[in-house]
Amino acid sequence: MKTIAAAAAAAALFVAALPARGFAQVPYDRIVKAESEPASWLTYGGSYKSQRYTSLDQINRQNVGQLRAAWVYQIRAAGVLETSPIVVDGVMYITEPPSTVTALDARTGRPLWSWSPKIPDDVIVIGSPPVNRGVAVLDNMVYAGSIAGHLTALDAKSGAVRWDVVVDDNHLGYYLTLAPLAIDGKIIVGVSGAEAGIRGFVDAYDAKTGKRVWRRHTVAAPGEPGGDTWGGKDSWKTGGGSTWLTGSYDPELKTLYWTTGNPGPDWNGDNRPGDNLYTCSLLALNPDDGSIKWHFQFTPHDTHDWDAVQTVVLFEAAVGGRPRKLVAQANRNGFYYVLDRTNGEFIAGAPFVKQTWADGLDAKGRPKVKPGLEPSEQGVTVFPSISGASNWYSPSYSPKTNLFYQVAREWSTIFYKGEAVYKPGFGFTAGGGRTQNGDDAWAAVRAFEATTGKLKWEFKLLSPGFSSLLSTAGSLVFGGTDEGNFFALDAESGKPLWDTQLGANIRGIPVSFAIEGKQYVAIGAGFALFVYALP
């Protein structure tokens, strides 16, 4: 008897000593403190601040040259892989195009489960390829949007559906490509679809039940604040203002920072005179009810498709000798902006690429727009291009270097204005453009002083792709190119330290995590997810 008890005790001890992985609970408090547990990667941007920075430093400037592939996961169906993996205690959750969610053993890449929503044959995806940029996790659930316009909660252990809601009607062009953001008891999502003439919004859903808690429209209706910025007949009804990228969050200030896209129709603003609030803006939202605390509009009355949805990064720094809580964005319109995130005050702004449309920004950060550069029937050449100086791909901020890292794209477009005819579920863009490509266009990884946008260094890339960046405490910046190079630069100097060829354009968003003390870096390229580590 005594022997059996001793053996049982020994067995229990043995089991406890095994490195159990995965499926742990992710309570809200854990996400708030995500920066303190870099072995996991708990939100789209790595933490609520969206800095896409890891404090892991095992891979560093001295040894990065020894990186080698740990594993590769091939996705199931051809498509554009733009996922930013989530990693929780050794389990990785990715999305595959168009809207599949897959859980992988983060040490080996072996699938644990996979779930695909039903996508109707007549699904309407206007404005982007049918992609998905990742999931959110909270408690014991995984949350994902779909191009069919749904938001679904899956059981983290099995992939079984816990609840599924229609965010909005895909027949009208609403669809989801973004990773949701999980906060205290709520799941926050936005929508794509401005190119189909939707009226954009940010939604909050009860994390446990899927019941919608609030909706904040991003196009002001008549009578609402900002409603008078929509001239023309009923222009607000089809005003666009998509919210198609994941926002950031400040739990102390209890403020959501969510960005908005272009007004509709894109390239013909004739029937929407005015600033078109709150398109091309940053909204500071109260997470309890979705009310707007403050807003900042980057591009009033946009006619060049310069969505402002690019990731907004939260950081703290001294400005004029005073510590400030800041929010920064390298905007698609070619300017880098720094705001006080407590009140939206404009602190600094400067172009980070060649731009020809504005004579700088005024004291409040509003662009001094040059006349005559709106799209026309004959075509008008403007820098930056229709696809922008930046786009959905993530920047990175390192609290170690206080630098903001961004792939900056140098190119122009000849913009055309077309006729604006709204038909539900069809394109409502009214124009288009011909964009420089090949040897005439280029890009660079640029490092700015985060508080000013002043250039510290740059590393030239060949073509303007969609390269997200990851900075690390090992003083590295990881990124990819459209030509398939996965690379690491010195975060302080921009000097290239390591690169390898992944064989297809890199649209995946890099993250880092650790298992049993070993650091990994993951990035999607072509139809596969690649994970690298030291030998």
* Binding residues for other proteins (CB under 8 A): 79-80, 82, 98, 120-131, 177, 192, 194-195, 244, 261-262, 266-267, 305, 307, 377-379, 386-387, 391-392, 416, 418-419, 421, 423, 425-427, 429-432, 434, 437-441, 460-463, 466, 481-485, 487, 496, 499, 501, 505, 507
Sheet with 111-115, strands from edge to edge, namely 86-88, 91-96, 100-105, 111-115
CB of 459 to other proteins, least distance (A): 8
Peptide bond into 27 cis (omega under 30): no
- Cα dihedral 311, 75, 426, 419, rounded to 10, equals 60
**H helix runs in 318-456, sequence order:** none
Which of 171, 185, 170, 90 is CA-nearest to residue 136?
A: 185
Nearer to other proteins (CB atom), residue 249 or residue 306:
306
3-state secondary structure of 29: helix
- Cα dihedral 122, 123, 127, 131, rounded to 10, equals -130
For residue 146, what are the contacts with CB-CB under 8 A and spacing of at least 6? Answer: 98, 99, 117, 119, 132, 152, 175, 176
Two tokens, residue 530:
């690649």
CB of 120 to other proteins, least distance (A): 7
> Which burial class, exposed, middle or buried, applies to 37 when counting CB atoms under 10 A from its CB (0-12, 13-18, 19+)?
middle
Two tokens, residue 211:
């019941």
Residue 155 and residue 25 in contact, taking contact as beta carbons nearer than 8 Å: no
CB of 481 to other proteins, least distance (A): 5
Distance between CA atoms of residues 433 and 413, nearest Å: 6
**What does the DSSP assignment read for 36-54?**
G-TTSB-STTSSTT---EE
Nearer to other proteins (CB atom), residue 54 or residue 268:
268
Two tokens, residue 492:
């302080």
CB of 104 to other proteins, least distance (A): 24
Nearer to other proteins (CB atom), residue 103 or residue 529:
529
Give ∠ CA 168-98-184 in degrees, rounded to 5.
55
Which of 163, 160, 204, 161 is CA-nearest to residue 180?
A: 204
Question: In this structure, how many other beta carbons lie within 10 angstroms of the beta carbon of residue 473?
Answer: 19
Q: In Å, how far from its chain's centre is CA 207?
A: 21
Which residue is catalytic, options 250, 302, 305, 307? 305
Nearer to other proteins (CB atom), residue 416 or residue 448:
416
CB of 253 to other proteins, least distance (A): 29
Instruction: Assess whether 305 carries a catalytic annotation.
Output: yes
Nearer to other proteins (CB atom), residue 387 or residue 396:
387
CB of 57 to other proteins, least distance (A): 24
CB of 297 to other proteins, least distance (A): 18
CB of 457 to other proteins, least distance (A): 15
Strand locations in 196-312 (E): 201-206, 212-217, 248-250, 255-259, 281-285, 292-297
Nearer to other proteins (CB atom), residue 143 or residue 466:
466
Nearer to other proteins (CB atom), residue 228 or residue 440:
440
Nearer to other proteins (CB atom), residue 91 or residue 191:
191
Two tokens, residue 334:
């070619």
Residues listed for the chain: 535
Distance between CA atoms of residues 91 and 84, nearest Å: 14
In b/e form, how buried is each residue of 217-230, taking b as 16+ CB within 10 angstroms? bbbbeeeeebeebb
CB of 384 to other proteins, least distance (A): 12
Two tokens, residue 86:
């989530």
Residues with catalytic function: 305
